[in-house]
Every structure is written in structure tokens, then in C-alpha cells.
Amino acid sequence: MNAIQLLQLPLFQGISEAAARQLLAEAPNSVRRYKEGNFIARQGDPCRSLYILCTGNVRAQMENAEGKQVTIDRISAPEVLAPAFIFASENRFPVNIEVQESCEVLVLDKNYFLEFMHSQPVIMKNFIGMISDRSLFLSKKLNEFALQSLKSRLLNYLKINKRIDNQQEVAFILGVARPSLARALSELIAEKKVSMNGKEAIITE
């Protein structure tokens, strides 16, 4: 990642190209490359650096002790991974980060990044905004899983995505078993709230 690419990230918007070059030149950092199917981090791994996804895309999944998985988010480059946990009292990755498309990750020293934020207040403002947005996103996810029925969650998914390419993948996203998803979809079709044209979903309600 070069200075121009760094400035494309919302986190670094508002600083000069010279400041971005200085960060890359002076901050202890490394570039890591991952192939599809690899894990950038596992749930519970220490999160002690700033991880910037430079290319590719990943899937963030949470897994319980019984092995049940739920997809929390899909993240495409350029983006910062797990920003809210870098300076947490328990700074560990809350999810598995699995590579969906080969990617490069820039890993920056968190202590230098903290100093850089103090010297560039706009970065600190961006960072706080980023953490706030992630908290808002997670609160909406919690509402979906805790308060809405599976059919309501499936309807919301179809309104946003318009199609189901892979039922198992959608089941992961909604945190249910595939048979439960298939049953909910069949009920929505029977209730005439949804019709399917191949993989395309038409919301009729």
C-alpha cells in the first residue's frame, strides 16, 4: 500500500499525502499476503496492531463452543479490520476473519499509530467515528438476531440482496441451519410475501 491508497481509506481522509508517506516510512509495519480460504485471524487471537485490508475481501464469522457459525459481515478492501478492539482492555479478535478472495493486509504498529493520531487530530476524529459506526452496525445485528423472527430476518436480507445464490451461505449470515432457512423461505412463498424467479427474489408484500 502506498500513500495514495492509504488516503482512500475513510480513516485517513483529511491528512496530506506527505503525512501519509511519513506514516508508512516511519511506522513499524509489514505486508502479509493470504490466499482464499486462509484465516487472517481466529476468534480470540490477540489484536495488537492496526490491520488494514489493502486488496481482496474477507468474511467475519463468529463461532460458539459447539461449532455453530454466524456470518457477521463481509468486508472488501480498502478497510480497517476490527478497529474497535485494538485499544480494548481485552484486545482480541471477536471473530474469525476468513479470506474470500486473495488479499494483502498492511499491519501497522498500534503504538506508533496512537502517536500519529495525536499529531493528526483529524485521524483521531475519523477513528472515533469508525468505532461509533461499527457499534451502530453491531447493535442492528443484535436486534436482528435477538428480536426478529427468522422470516423477518430473511425478508430483510432479500430486500437488500434481491437473490439467494447459496442457501448455506445465507444460513450462515442469518445464524440458522440450512433446513430452517429453506422452511422459512417456503413459508414466505406460501404466504405470497415472496416469489422466486430462479435465484432472483421478488418481494410481494
CA-wise closest residue to 59 among 170, 199, 178, 181 = 170
Q: Which amino acid, one-letter code, is at 197? A: N
Residues in the chain: 205
Pairing of strands 79-81, 200-203: unpaired
Q: Which helix (H) or strand (E) holds 102?
A: strand 96-109
4-32 pLDDT, tens digit per residue, is 888 988 899 999 999 999 999 999 989 99
Cell of 91: 484486545
Residue 73's pLDDT band, with cuts at 50, 70 and 90, is: confident
Q: What is the mean pLDDT of residues 165-176?
A: 83
Q: Give the 3-state secondary structure of residue 33.
A: strand
**How many angstroms separate the CA atoms of 155 and 169, rounded?**
16
CA-wise closest residue to 59 among 91, 33, 89, 81 = 81
CA-wise closest residue to 181 among 197, 97, 201 = 201
More confident residue, 141 or 146: 141
**81-85, 144-148, 172-176, 192-196: range with highest mean pLDDT:** 81-85
